């Protein structure tokens, strides 16, 4: 089954749209149009970028005074509130061989990332005997606790894993119970999350199989190859959206300024959850002795914290005030434009942050600028400006994009 997935033939166009180079190229094309004043929805004010850099550096120095910044990944959220949950997981995995420990961590990372799309402002997770957590940290803690309780395993004797049998049997009721969903504690996009988990069961015997694909008898793997494997293997699980040459592309959307409707030239790939997963595979692979190299080939993540930072600090100015009042779907042109501009501007912010710190891209890759970083600054600024820290632009979450 795995070999069949690995040799799937796709057209050159599809292969390119799955690459991080395509993400970066198309997003910078949108930024170039914005700098030339040729975009419909946002005006770009590059003179405001130093203000963004100031905020990013402030939160970075606060959280990492020695600049010992880890890679931006799902693993940062599992110990939310200072609770050493990962140490608890490590202790329970300690008796397993190194390769099986790595597979278990990949099982957890994949499932948790696929459950990580925006929760909405009303949901929270009350950890038994502990505090309550919201948004991404809440989703991380909920997924970890569900994993450690065997919620994704079909084998009671091996609870610390996820496998196709358990994922295929996952019901909405089971997922809602694990995430404490109720009428008074609503979680956005439950059906979308369930769809992804059930889809995962149809493409892999267990998510941890990706460890074997990536690690096979080698000591390093390029970040672009990690993302390529994620996109190739998980491609069939995404809801049907844009299709090119018979292949569903997932998080890829048209922007009218780039090309005629229906053409591949108009498409902007983002692959946000897939890149978030690629970043989140770095540590499980490293723990098993496989280094992920050329990390800066991946791009910034086009989600509402990074994108909101640019809107809230005046780098991106909505051309129409209604952009901050209405609710949009991920494929709506204003959202595609906003996300593309976010990816390209994150490259500029990373370069400016490195310049201020006198560090090289090797010393401070984009993944660490995001962690240091832009995501936290976006959340902090949003909390200062609006109750509950809601983003400046609202998106309908179906549980499969953000």
**pLDDT in single tens digits along all 402 residues of the chain:** 444 444 468 999 999 999 999 999 999 999 999 999 999 999 999 999 999 999 999 999 999 999 999 999 999 999 999 999 999 999 999 999 999 999 999 999 999 999 998 888 899 999 999 999 999 999 999 999 999 999 999 999 999 999 999 999 999 999 999 999 999 999 999 999 999 999 999 999 999 999 999 998 789 999 999 999 999 999 999 888 889 999 989 999 999 999 999 999 999 999 999 999 999 999 999 999 999 999 999 999 999 999 999 999 999 999 999 999 999 999 999 999 999 999 999 999 999 999 999 999 999 999 999 999 999 999 999 999 999 899 999 998 777 887
Buried b (16+ CB within 10 A) or exposed e, 262-282: eebebbbbbbbbbbbbbbbbb
What pLDDT, on the 0 to 100 scale, is given for residue 399? 77
What pLDDT, on the 0 to 100 scale, is given for residue 8? 64
Chain-centre distance of CA 58, in angstroms?
A: 23
Nearest-CA neighbor of 31 among 341, 263, 242, 352? 341
d(CA 127, CA 90): 19
**Which residue is it, tokens 């069961």?**
201
Instruction: Evaluate whether 369 touches 349 at the Cβ level (below 8 Å).
Output: yes
What pLDDT, on the 0 to 100 scale, is given for residue 157? 96
CB-based contacts of 361: which residues, under 8 Å, 6+ apart? Answer: 296, 350, 354
Half-sphere exposure of 260 (CA within 13 A, CB side): 1
What is the helix (H) or strand (E) element at residue 248, kind and residue range? strand 247-248
d(CA 255, CA 268): 7
Q: In the chain, what's the furthest Cα-to-Cα distance?
A: 61
* 92 secondary structure, DSSP code: H
The helices-and-strands tally (H runs, E runs) of the chain is: 19, 12
* 395 secondary structure, DSSP code: E
What pLDDT, on the 0 to 100 scale, is given for residue 3? 44
pTM of the model: 0.94
What pLDDT, on the 0 to 100 scale, is given for residue 9? 84
Instruction: Evaluate whether 30 touches 39 at the Cβ level (below 8 Å).
Output: yes
d(CA 380, CA 54): 13
> Beta-carbon neighbour count of residue 154 at 10 Å?
16
CB-based contacts of 401: which residues, under 8 Å, 6+ apart? Answer: 117, 251, 272, 273, 330, 395
């Amino acid at each position: 089954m795995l070999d069949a997935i690995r040799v799937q033939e796709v057209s050159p166009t599809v292969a390119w749209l799955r690459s991080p180079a395509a993400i970066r190229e198309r997003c910078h094309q949108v930024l170039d149009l914005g700098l030339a004043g040729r975009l419909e929805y946002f005006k770009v004010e590059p003179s405001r970028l130093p203000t963004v850099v100031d905020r990013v550096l402030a939160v970075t120095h606060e959280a990492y005074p020695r600049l010992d910044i880890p890679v931006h990944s799902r693993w940062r959220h599992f110990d939310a509130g200072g609770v050493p949950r990962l140490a608890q997981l490590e202790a329970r995995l300690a008796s397993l061989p190194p390769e099986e420990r790595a597979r278990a961590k990949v099982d957890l990372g994949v499932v948790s990332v696929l459950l990580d799309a925006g929760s909405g402002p009303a949901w929270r997770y009350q950890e038994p005997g502990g505090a309550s957590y919201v948004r991404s940290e809440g989703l991380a803690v909920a997924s970890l606790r569900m994993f450690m309780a065997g919620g994704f395993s079909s084998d009671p004797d091996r609870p610390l894993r996820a496998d196709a049998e358990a994922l295929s049997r996952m019901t909405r009721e089971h997922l809602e119970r694990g995430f404490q969903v109720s009428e008074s504690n609503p979680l956005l996009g439950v059906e979308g999350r369930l769809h992804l988990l059930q889809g995962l069961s149809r493409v892999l015997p267990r998510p941890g199989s990706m460890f074997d694909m990536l690690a096979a008898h080698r000591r390093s793997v390029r970040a672009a190859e990690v993302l390529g494997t994620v996109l190739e293997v998980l491609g069939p699980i995404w809801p049907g959206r844009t299709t090119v040459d018979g292949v569903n592309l997932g998080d890829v959307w048209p922007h009218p300024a780039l090309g005629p409707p229906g053409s591949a030239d108009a498409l902007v790939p983002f692959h946000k959850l897939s890149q978030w997963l690629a970043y989140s595979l770095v540590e499980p692979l490293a723990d098993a002795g496989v280094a992920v190299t050329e990390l800066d080939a991946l791009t910034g993540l086009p989600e509402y914290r990074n994108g909101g930072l640019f809107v809230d600090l005046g780098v991106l100015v909505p051309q129409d005030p209604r952009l901050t009042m209405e609710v949009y779907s991920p494929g709506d042109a204003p959202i595609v434009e906003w996300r593309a501009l976010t990816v390209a501007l994150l490259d500029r912010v990373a370069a400016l942050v490195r310049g201020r710190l006198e560090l090289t891209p090797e010393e401070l890759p984009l993944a660490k600028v995001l962690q240091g970083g832009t995501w936290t600054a976006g959340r902090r600024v949003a909390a200062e400006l609006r109750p509950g820290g809601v983003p400046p632009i609202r998106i309908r979450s179906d549980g499969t994009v953000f």
